[in-house]
Structure 1
Amino acid sequence: MVEDMLAGMSLRDKIGQMLICGFYGTSMDGDLRRLIADYKIGGVIYFARNVESPAQIARLTEELQDAAAKSGTPSLWISIDQEGGMVARITEGVALMPGGMAIAAAGSEEDAYLAAYASGQELAAMGINLNYAPVLDVNNNPGNPVIGVRSFGESPEKVARFGEQTLRGFQDAGVAATAKHFPGHGDTDVDSHLDLPTVPHDRKRMEAVELKPFREAVQAGVDAIMSAHIYFPALESGKLPVTLSRAALTGLLREELGFEGIITTDCMEMNAIAEHFGTVEASVMAVEAGADLVLVSHRLDRQLGAIGAIELAVNEGRLSAERIDESVRRLLAMKLRRGVLGVGKPPEGLLGGLAPQDGPDSSVALPPVKNETGAVLPGMVGSAADNAAKGVPDAPDLSLLGNAEHREIARRISEASVTLVRNGIPMLPLGRERTLVVTVAPAVATLADESMAAGPGLGSALKRHGLDCREIVVPPAEIAGRLDSLVREAVSGGYGHLVVGTYNAQFDAAQISLVKSLLALGKPLAVAALRNPYDLLAFPEVQVYAAAYESRPLALDSMAKALLGLIPFRGRLPVSLGELHPAGWGLGL
């Protein structure tokens, strides 16, 4: 079937299959319809800007696939960054799972699988068939501004284990998983959305750390791997980022690691590419290097430019027609495998060493999911194989979204993740004193976040669970201007205890000043890190410190319960916070 499809395509049609395009708005406009009908693009990517609700996404997906069918375009990849935690495009109306570092802090590889399987079921119900997750970057650099809590931690072995269970969960649910950002974005202090980072490690170090999770993901049969816009001198002599490096994508990933799945680029409009090479020219270079899918997330002119430039490169002999066929054959085969083309499994041998995965890994038993009272919830147990074998459903079944079983998985992981790092004064559990709670509101820390909605903070969760407290939620940009008034309130408001919920304070001098100013008052103070656990390194004199790894409502609720003694602190640090608090550290009350 794949060969028949390939034979019926023009060069322009084939190149279109190699593009994933972003768009603006929550419905299909004329430009997007043109990309699908006239340029035969391979798929689209959803961002938060495209989302109103799960029902709207399901309708939009149906509309896009209908447009493809009517124009003779192969069914589309409908892709998304739904990592969980702080990087997720659909946050309402679904069971939003904790992110990688929270899952690792909770400690259960089984739960990593269940979280991805449940999330994958919900994505598939909305017609989303390609997820840019899991993150397999080993976050061993406290100054990393872009990966952080998206990673499973600093241990290559732990990242590999949790990453494998996550990719299996998504794929068993019928959604293609993408391991990213090859060969590792964890040890950088530059955000590749903004500039071109360099990782100077030699191959021996890379084999031991950065490459280990990706090697194991390849062996586990991951569907896709996303390249990093990072320069690794150990891999490439010409100061090219991995996305544009034939030595990295073809030499290392294809030939040495034996990967036979889809190689996709990260967005080609990120500054690491756009500012140094140009999105259009770099799209050709990425295909030369070995990429199958080119991701252009924002501008129509660049999307059309990339298609035209790749076509010109073939016509002028810079790229061969065989090189294009190689990628398109692989892409169509993967669409067939994942049910995107709607005709079941591919013919024998079509995917080389990648065996079809039509249902859950038989080596992973799905345990009963229980609620807080211990009652077994119906749903996944007993029906997992049936559900997964169906792949992407023919018609949206939105009853899966945010169901009790999925919410219970998220709650259990979240509560198990909360980590007590330091408990040096008799302050916990809270409840004996009226408390001022200052919560730093979440803000976009990197373009990977895209958007952050403001809402109630940690104090609201504490109050809901019975604490006598006043909450003040302050955006990071307003802290410096409100510092004096916050300190005055702490002094004159009759509070016995102070709690500060920080958000990436390590990178924010105003938050550091806030914590140190409140600490100087001499009142018992606890800091709850609501994203980056490394915040403690900015104010090591704080005596009570806990980490939640994210500031989603569920994480705030879990942190509140732990601070009040309603649940135990059970999390363990996936990363080291200095010599005193190594990875694996965690206290109880």
Structure 2
Amino acid sequence: MHSPPRPSRRAVLGAAAAASTALAVGTPGTASAAAAHDRRRVRAIIDRMSIEEKIGQLFVMRVYGHSATAPDPADVAANQAEIGVSNAAELIAKYHVGGIIYFAWAHNTRDPHQIADLSNGIQRASRIPLLISTDQEHGAVTRVGSPATLFPGGMALGAAGSVRDARTAAAVAGAELAAMGINQDYAPVADVNVNPANPVIGVRSFGADPKAVASLVAAQVAGYQGTGVVATAKHFPGHGDTGTDSHFELPVIAHSLEEWRRLDAPPFRAAVAAGIDSIMTAHILVPALDDSGDPATLSRPILTGILREEMGYDGVVVTDALGMEGVRQKYGDDRVPVLALKAGVDQLLNPPLLETAWQGVLAAVRSGELTEERIDQSLVRILTLKERRGLLDHPYVTHRGVDRVVGTRAHLAAADRITDGTVTLLANNGTLPLPARRRLLVVGADPAAPSGTGGPPTAVLAAALTALGHRAQALSTGTAPGQAAIDAAVAAARGTDAVVVATYNVTAATDRQIALVRALAATGVPVVQIAIRNPYDVARLDGTAAALATYGWTDVSMRAAARVLAGRVRPGGKLPVAVVRADEPTRDLYPVGWGLGY
């Protein structure tokens, strides 16, 4: 499968630049001349590529290791087992991939200097600079942790409701990603979360109001792309009303065409209007848009008919990860990338078996099922994006740039200020704000936080309350506390002035977190409940003195919660989704826009 020797990176990019110079001379500074220059340069690059290189440019692949050439032995073994190469440099040499995606679990994101070095090593290994991507949504989905600046996730920003803050968060995040050599972020989430039981989107969404979500999506597109980082609106045509997770199943969206246009489409239309660089597909069935039984990722009526032709989008379309079961149920791993390209996709993200996927596309081209012209259409979009974002000329980063940008005092202060405005007070009988110097017990769920984002949340919250003048003790009881854990919490609560309980997705009447809250309330000590993920928990809990929602459990959200509890900051968040009654789900307990103050 190896292609014949090709010109060096300098020769490829240099010849392309020289070939296009004539169009720029004579009309400097004009938009039309610049666009013509870019087109000529991109065409020159494509003309010097083999079909193998062209196909490789369509793939964005994972790779294990902190280094492009010398990862740890365990990462070498993982790469050999899953990809058939030892490191990122070999991956690029063998498959000519156009992009690499970073994951914390793949050991790509240890610290900012290491990330920058990995990015530089990847770029040095390729004749054509790569789009280096990650899922840095913030909140529940965070790949690059501290000391990078961390913000709350989408629903928290939706609770704050500030377009300016959403843009600022994206601008700070984008600047820091760019400093580390990450030039494509799979954010913002443009899904409108109208289903409280949604297991995969939830707090990743800005909320349930299409208009509000659209405005925040547009703001984040401007924020990211203003720093030179490619923003990616996801998951088209809208993953917000699913009761199943496309990582494991193929969800079905039952919206009518009219409902889709009213509920799901507005944020994507806003992203297109804002000049979004890329849009990610969803592995979901939407029969009203395509009744073929194919998921949206493989649907020409959805991706070409609606996204490209009806909505007028001609940017890069990237699939969601091709290892997810939602796209693998009907076709083999060799056919999925071919069908995605035929549907209108440009980038093929993280197939489970790259060799199988790569060979599948090559076979389709050789058989005539896919024409080389069709491959070139996607190449033009991808390379034009790389040119527009400056990658073809300036793909490298420096440690100095990292130190000047990542985790600065100003960025961290902005994150704290923005997060303070997200905490939502749902109920309060006068217990909050807490009087000074209280004896407090902080108990409850301690879900694992995304890598590098801190935790455990009960310990972080207790420490933050103590730093604000209280005496707070932390006791983790988990997301499913047994009777021994409940008894220990009740014993610890006696003699305190208040108990703060962190709850995490209380979804059923039999949830053990309900038993914990009831037992603590029975002590007579005031109980303050904080929903640290989905805000719906309060509907199943009773006997509490106050209830808040933070929409996240990373350190930045826990510190903000402490400031609100202590009265240092007034709660300013408003529910971006409705909390329905547990006993009567057709009625709202707290509607969209609900939020108390002090």
TM-score (norm 2): 0.85
- 1:460-475 matches, within 5 Å, as 460-475=463-478
Which residue pairs with 2:389 in the alignment? 338
In 1, are the aligned partners of 2:144 and 2:452 still within 8 Å (CA)?
Answer: no
1:63 to 121, 124, 133: 121
Shift of 1:520: 3.4
Shift of 1:86: 2.0
- Per-residue CA deviation, residues 56-98 of structure 1 (Å, 9 max, x unaligned), is 0000000110111xxx3x1001101111122111111111122
Determine helix, strand or coil for the equivalent of 1:476: coil
Determine helix, strand or coil for the equivalent of 2:125: helix
In 1, are the aligned partners of 2:486 and 2:519 still within 8 Å (CA)?
Answer: no
- 1:368-447 matches, within 5 Å, as 397-398=401-402, 399-426=404-431, 428-431=433-436, 433-443=438-448
Cα distance in 1 for residues equivalent to 2:490 and 2:398: 60
Shift of 1:158: 0.5
Which residue pairs with 2:592 in the alignment? 583
Cα distance in 2 for residues equivalent to 1:179 and 1:221: 11
Which residue pairs with 2:496 in the alignment? 495
Shift of 1:439: 3.5
Which residue pairs with 2:460 in the alignment? 457
Which residue pairs with 2:90 in the alignment? 34
Which residue pairs with 1:269 in the alignment? 323
Cα distance in 2 for residues equivalent to 1:270 and 1:430: 50
In 2, are the aligned partners of 1:313 and 1:319 still within 8 Å (CA)?
Answer: yes
Cα distance in 2 for residues equivalent to 1:566 and 1:452: 23
Over the aligned positions, Cα root-mean-square deviation in angstroms equals: 2.0
2:375 to 301, 306, 324: 324
1:315 to 354, 363, 366: 366
Determine helix, strand or coil for the equivalent of 1:158: helix
Are positions 1:52 and 2:110 aligned together? yes
Given the superposition, is the C-alpha separation of residues 488 and 517 from structure 1 closer, same or farther in structure 2, using an over 3 Å criterion?
A: closer
Given the superposition, is the C-alpha separation of residues 486 and 184 from structure 1 closer, same or farther in structure 2, using an over 3 Å criterion?
A: farther
Shift of 1:48: 0.9
Which residue pairs with 1:377 in the alignment? none
- Per-residue CA deviation, residues 370-413 of structure 1 (Å, 9 max, x unaligned), is xxxxxxxxxxxxxxxxxxxxx98577601211112211211111
Q: 1:520 is matched by which residue type in structure 2?
A: A
Q: How many residue pairs get matched?
A: 529
- Per-residue CA deviation, residues 408-442 of structure 1 (Å, 9 max, x unaligned), is 21111111111111013545325464222103112
Larger mean Cα displacement after TM superposition, 531-540 or 202-211: 531-540
Determine helix, strand or coil for the equivalent of 1:586: coil
Cα distance in 2 for residues equivalent to 1:276 and 1:450: 34
In 2, are the aligned partners of 1:441 and 1:457 still within 8 Å (CA)?
Answer: no
Cα distance in 1 for residues equivalent to 2:544 and 2:173: 37
In 2, are the aligned partners of 1:95 and 1:406 still within 8 Å (CA)?
Answer: yes
Determine helix, strand or coil for the equivalent of 1:580: strand
Stretches of structure 1 lacking an aligned partner (at least 5 in a row): 344-390
Determine helix, strand or coil for the equivalent of 2:434: coil
Cα distance in 2 for residues equivalent to 1:433 and 1:38: 63
Given the superposition, is the C-alpha separation of residues 95 and 450 from structure 1 closer, same or farther in structure 2, using an over 3 Å criterion?
A: closer
Shift of 1:269: 0.3
Which residue pairs with 2:259 in the alignment? 205
Shift of 1:483: 3.2
In 1, are the aligned partners of 2:490 and 2:523 still within 8 Å (CA)?
Answer: no
- Per-residue CA deviation, residues 148-194 of structure 1 (Å, 9 max, x unaligned), is 11111111000000110101110010000000011111111111111
Which residue pairs with 1:571 in the alignment? 573
Given the superposition, is the C-alpha separation of residues 506 and 467 from structure 1 closer, same or farther in structure 2, using an over 3 Å criterion?
A: farther
In 2, are the aligned partners of 1:65 and 1:75 still within 8 Å (CA)?
Answer: yes
Which residue pairs with 1:79 in the alignment? 133
Cα distance in 2 for residues equivalent to 1:541 and 1:201: 38
Q: 1:474 is matched by which residue type in structure 2?
A: T
In 2, are the aligned partners of 1:83 and 1:133 still within 8 Å (CA)?
Answer: yes
TM-score (norm 1): 0.86
Which residue pairs with 2:505 in the alignment? 504
Percent identity between the two aligned chains: 41
Which residue pairs with 2:72 in the alignment? none
Shift of 1:510: 2.4
Cα distance in 1 for residues equivalent to 2:158 and 2:229: 22
Which residue pairs with 1:246 in the alignment? 300
- Per-residue CA deviation, residues 291-338 of structure 1 (Å, 9 max, x unaligned), is 1000016x4xx1121111001011112212211111011111111011
Shift of 1:571: 1.2
Stretches of structure 2 lacking an aligned partner (at least 5 in a row): 1-40, 70-85, 581-587
In 1, are the aligned partners of 2:433 and 2:564 still within 8 Å (CA)?
Answer: no
